[in-house]
Amino acid sequence: MIERFIRYLAIEKGLAANTLASYQKDLLNYAAFLERTGCREWQESNRHHIVSYLSHLQKMGRAPATVSRNLASIRSFYHFLLRDGLLDADPTLHLDSPKTDKRLPRVLTVEEVERLLAAPEGRTPSGLRDRAMLEVLYATGIRVSELVALNVADLNLNMGYLKCYGKGSKERIVPLGSAALEAAGQYLSRGRAHLLKGPDEGALFLNHQGRRLTRQGFWKIIKKYARAAGIQKAITPHTLRHSFATHLLENGADLRAVQEMLGHADISTTQIYTHVTQSRLKDVYLRTHPRA
């Protein structure tokens, strides 16, 4: 049933591979827990089993966000079973997720971003690729999974935009700034062909084997350049996405426009960046006002 559910999410909902893997992992762990308690059929499981499992996760020291994600996976799965007529009632009804602390995303200052973007060596094929990736990521705020999924055909240098596919395979068009356009153009004209080793499958960013660069590969790249730029903050592949949104809002961008560019389905997700800007303004005030 879990396999059927995952196929349903992939085919009918169009969820990304990483999201599907997360659902599968959560549900397999839950199924293993049910078996240990003697429950071997989904129809035998009930609210008590779910509460016990969530309590088990908390006792193991899992973060509230992890427990909430597991409950969301379990709830979606039971809804699938209800839809297929395999259950008579929803055992997750009125079950509340644990409250999670909304941590503000870590962002770079504009000066730190400038140092990071200047770090790649611009004369080698890999240096041209790395500079183009960092410039495009900061210029657009797209997710790293969206960045590495880009094909050459998704980039329109003449019109100054790229096309990417976000969660649920939703397509969106994001504008590119002049610096990103210049870096991408240099990579396409002087770098990509040197990285290509075999048949051209159309991937925009290639690794040294000539295949599509992975998220893990990009993680290593951004860590390397953060060290080269002397940035002390912990960097993640999402750091430039967070910085993109924060810097736009700090400079007066409309929240709805930022939501559209980030590909957020709900504006409440985008609003976390308004808290970041408020926090930074308060920090500036406390450091600079003579009577603060």
- What residue ranges do the domains of the chain occupy? 2-83, 110-287
By CB atoms closer than 10 A (0-12, 13-18, 19+), residue 32 is exposed
For the stretch 117-123, contacts whose Cβ atoms lie closer than 8 Å and that sit 24 or more positions apart, written own/partner, are 117/179, 118/229, 119/225, 119/228, 119/229, 120/225, 122/186
Which CATH architecture fits 2-83? Orthogonal Bundle (1.10)
Reply yes or no on whether 143 is catalytic. Answer: yes
What CATH architecture does domain 110-287 belong to? Orthogonal Bundle (1.10)
Q: Which listed residue (192, 241, 242, 247) is catalytic?
A: 241
Predicted confidence at residue 109, as pLDDT, reads: 86
Query: pLDDT tens digits for 181-219?
Result: 999 999 999 999 999 988 888 999 999 999 999 988 998
Report the C-alpha gap between 165 and 157 in whole angstroms: 18
CA distance 222 to 215: 11
Per-residue confidence (pLDDT) for residue 181, from 0 to 100: 94
The tokens 């990579």 sit on which residue? 187
Q: What is the pLDDT of residue 288?
A: 61
Is 83 known to be catalytic? Answer: no
What pLDDT is stored for residue 272 in this prediction? 67
pTM: 0.63
Extract the residue ranges of the chain whose pLDDT is less than 50.
Answer: none
CA distance from start to end of the chain:
60
Of 49, 56, 172, 264, which one is the catalytic site residue?
Answer: 264
CA angle 250, 263, 240 (to 5 degrees): 50
Residue in 75, 163, 211, 238 annotated catalytic:
238
Q: Which of 106, 167, 172, 223 is catalytic?
A: 167
270-279, Cβ contacts within 8 angstroms, sequence gap of 24 or more:
270/245, 272/102, 272/104, 272/105, 273/105, 273/242, 273/245, 273/246, 273/249, 274/249, 275/102, 275/104, 276/104, 276/105, 276/107, 276/242, 276/246, 276/249, 277/246, 277/249, 277/250, 279/104
Positive or negative: CA dihedral 23, 26, 29, 30: negative
Element (H, E) at 175: strand 171-175
Quick check: is 264 catalytic?
Answer: yes
pLDDT digit string (tens) for 276-286?
Answer: 556 555 665 56
Catalytic residue among 143, 192, 242, 247: 143
238 is catalytic: yes
